Amino acid sequence: MTLATLGIAYFRRRPLLIFSAVAIALGVAVLFSVLAVMNGFLAELQTSIRTISGDAAVDISRSRGGEFRPLEAYEKTLADVDGVDHLDPQLNWYGLIGRRGSAAVSDPRSTDLSGLLLIGVDTGFEDSEVESDAGGRPILPMRLGVGAAERLDLEVGDLLGVITFVEGSGAGSRERSKAPQLLQMSCRLVETIKTGRYDQDLDRAVFPRQALAEFLSSTAGFNELLIRTTPGADPVQVAADIERAMQLAGFTHPGYPTTFSWRDRGGNLLRAVENQRGMLSIVFFFIVLVAAYQLVATLTLTVTEKRRDISVLRALGATPRRVIRFFVSLGLLISLIGISLGLLLGQWLVQNLTTVEKWVGGGQPIFRAEIYKFDHIPVSVDPGSVVVLVGATLLVAMVFSLIPAWRASRVKVIDGLRSR
């Protein structure tokens, strides 16, 4: 009988060794699931930020002297910046939306109005036309987030009213009125959009940029430039290069940046998710650590019960070093079986998270979209994280197996043979 065969026999005949493997499996499954959810949440958040805010963005409203220049001027200035693929001009404004014909549209103080971010873009309205009402006033096509459409109980084709305010102008060149000017327009819902982000689907309405600019009497037609970078380019470095080019062109003040990378736009939410992923990984790894620590007690008890077997091996020529390798290998065998079972269980959990959520929550959702931002539970299995998890677990198991293995190597042949 080889030492490998003896180790397998020990594992099969001793329930405590099987229980140790199960404990490791549960710890690995929990940590695997937590990492998959956190990696998925972080990946979804990063993708949504870059989709909505671009790889980088230039806030034109922060330009030097608040001056808006033609789009061609910015394109010319950024043409030589490495990593810039193209620019997407965008017009952002805030407004109130309500059903057309209701008293709410005529009274901006009404609580029936919903405050939304009005976004003017150049894509997505190729098949939509600007209509006109009976008085010849334009009816703008509008795309609305599914959350906002549900909250307002709207369907595609419904007519709505938009109220917003712009800064009034004074009578003289040196006088500027502080009283805002009220603007009203009609729009028709042509499509509901779903970004996957609960907050984004709840608070934004998208319009054709030129039509929205005419409604707001915006001469520039945009107040933000979304920068799309070339594949492989570092958005943070591209944003720094753009800011430098803007300063050299005299568009911005030094020390008063107007260009922000997608990580800057992610802000505290992105940093909080990254920090939380790291903290949860450390906390839940202690579950694996505690499960692996059972190997000390389990293998120590095995050494005590198998003193006679150890003495026979020593009498047959096994050196203390070989005995140590045998018990360390036994601990690694237990860990490998536990890791394999844990990865299979963890994979099943992440593939059936909705079912597990209902079991744990008693039929009620635990991951609420209004809290966790997404309308689903994002999952992403990172091979690198799995390799680190497996390697760390095996390392811990090997270290914890050294103590009972060392005790086994100290068993004296005569004393072991006398034991029953």
**Pair type for strands 180-193 and 138-145:** parallel
Condensed to tens digits (0 to 9), the pLDDT of residues 230-244 reads 998 899 999 999 988
Q: Can you list the pairs that 381-386 forms with residues at least 24 positions away whose Cβ atoms lie under 8 Å?
A: 381/36, 381/39, 381/347, 381/350, 382/35, 382/36, 382/39, 385/35, 385/39, 386/32, 386/343
Joined tokens for residue 7:
């180790």
Q: Where are the beta strands (DSSP E) in 154-233?
A: 159-167, 180-193, 204-208, 224-229
pLDDT mean across residues, the chain: 79
Joined tokens for residue 163:
């109220």
**End-to-end Cα spacing for the chain:** 21
Classify each residue of 148-177 as buried b or exposed e, where b means 16 or more C-beta atoms within 10 Å of its C-beta. bbeebebeeebebbbbbeeeeeeeeeeeee
Distance CA 1, CA 7 (A): 10
DSSP class per residue in 256-305: S--EEEHHHHHHHHHHHHHHHHHHHHHHHHHHHHHHHHHHHHHHHHHHHH
Tell me the mean pLDDT in the region 80-99: 88
Classify each residue of 68-105 as buried b or exposed e, where b means 16 or more C-beta atoms within 10 Å of its C-beta. beeeeebeebbeebebbeebbbbbebebbbbbbeeebb
**Hey, is 368 helix, strand or coil?**
coil
Condensed to tens digits (0 to 9), the pLDDT of residues 279-323 reads 888 888 887 887 777 777 777 776 666 666 666 666 666 677 777
8 Å CB contact between 259 and 105: no
Distance CA 369, CA 361 (A): 15
8 Å CB contact between 323 and 310: yes
pLDDT(64) > 70: no
pLDDT-based confidence at residue 344 (cuts at 50, 70, 90): very high
- C-alpha torsion angle, residues 405, 406, 407, 410 (rounded to 10): 120
**Pair type for strands 84-99 and 114-121:** antiparallel
**How many Cα atoms occupy the beta-carbon half-sphere of 193 within 13 Å?**
20
Tell me the mean pLDDT in the region 37-62: 85
Condensed to tens digits (0 to 9), the pLDDT of residues 379-398 reads 888 888 889 888 888 888 88
Condensed to tens digits (0 to 9), the pLDDT of residues 190-220 reads 999 887 777 788 888 999 999 898 888 877 7
**Pair type for strands 114-121 and 204-208:** parallel
pLDDT-based confidence at residue 174 (cuts at 50, 70, 90): very low
pLDDT(222) > 70: yes
pLDDT-based confidence at residue 340 (cuts at 50, 70, 90): very high
Higher pLDDT, 417 or 342: 342
Q: What is the pLDDT of residue 168?
A: 62
